[in-house]
Amino acid sequence: MSNALMATYKRLPVSFERGEGVWLWDTQGKRYLDALSGIAVCGLGHAHPAIHKAICDQAATLLHTSNLYQIPLQEQLAEKLSALAGMQQVFFANSGAEANEAAIKIARFYGNQKGIQNPTIVVMDKSFHGRTLATLTATGNRKVQAGFEPLVQGFVRIPFGDIDSLKSVAENSPNVVAVLVEPVQGEGGINIPADDYLKQVRQICDQHEWLMMLDEIQTGIGRSGKFFSHQHQAIVPDVMTLAKALGNGMPIGACLVSGRATDLLGPGNHGTTFGGNPLACRVGLTVIETVEKLNLTTRAEVLGAKLLADFADALTDVAGVEEIRGQGLLIGIELDRPCGELVTRALEKGLLINVTADSVIRLLPPLIMSDKEAVNLVEVLSALIRDFLAEESD
């Protein structure tokens, strides 16, 4: 690996040359089943023909003008996302971290408009919201914060899924203006709260006139089995952030608002040079069109349930498997010990996976994965897990 790159990643010893569907080929011609989708980005898989055409067609006409001018494709994408989410307005950025930065600024602006000094946002343990100074402060992982002190003020942290803790904050923290939460924690280990958790958060936010802000960067655009994960609980947030799968590899982020967050920001309050450019928005529109055309939200729900059931059958009574959990095609297999070396073992077998929270195998396969490819995933990974746990137990 080149010494010209900052060593911010511990990269695996493989370089990919091309992809097609759920498969990737490295520079030596070896084929890999991609069960990670570039960390929930390539929901339509690799080299999807509709995305290829959209990029080529748009690149031949116009890539960038800046937000000094009207951008019709940006307006179309904003209208489409707003309609799908039942929300009102959208700010486009280039990444999930930038979308979350916008959400944090909206919450602070909202608090200051109400005359609240030192507006505070409630965030969760084990969360992940990005690596800018504000978003890494909001993130509930001390590892990503270490060395970057002083962190940003204005956050209070509670356990994820714990409504009693949120009620306690409401009683004792008068400066709170918002709650920022992932419907399903991805980096934290595919942690899924109780079925009524988001509804209760919504009720508490309404009661105290807080903004309910949902980070759907990993869960959004069909992966959960609904277009947005919060739709499983039939609620609408005041702020929602998106990125990852919205561009299927093209960098784009979005911050949607509704309710009391609508019309808060005006000219000069926030901005971006590249966000919402014609190319990114053309791709975003094509992604949404393709997800709808192929009914991939239902596919994610059906295939996710099948994968959970098949893994449960394959790993029944295997000592060391703590829990298999998921929502749609967000799947976590938690072991009773650190299992990071499974990533390398899987790579050797032609399978791309991830381990997060030290002991959770995280699977985020493309929404287009076939039943046959899903069977392959279960067979290869289950054998790897069995062998790993058996060796560790010797």
Active site residues: 128, 215, 244
Give the chain's largest Cα–Cα span: 66
With tokens 């030290």, the residue in question is 358
DSSP 84-151: HHT--EEEEESSHHHHHHHHHHHHHHHHHHTT-SS-EEEEETT----SSHHHHHHSS-HHHHTT-PSP
Looking at the chain, how many residues does it have? 394
- Torsion-angle region of 283 (φ positive above 0: left; ψ -120 to 50: alpha; else: beta): alpha
Tokens, residue 155: 């956050």
Helix, strand, or coil here: 212?
Answer: strand
C-alpha pair distances (Å), 322 with each of 205, 249, 341 = 34, 33, 18
Range list of H helices, 253-359: 278-293, 296-314, 341-348
Instruction: Please provide the distance, in angstroms rounded to a whole number, between the alpha carbons at the two ends of the chain.
Output: 36
Number of helical (H) and strand (E) elements in the chain, helices listed first: 12, 15
What is d(CA 126, CA 246) in angstroms, rounded to the nearest whole number?
24
Tokens, residue 355: 């381990």
φ, ψ of residue 223 to 5 degrees: the values are -60, -35
Segment (H or E) for 165: helix 163-172
Q: Give the Cα-Cα-Cα angle 26, 352, 394 (nearest 5 degrees).
A: 120
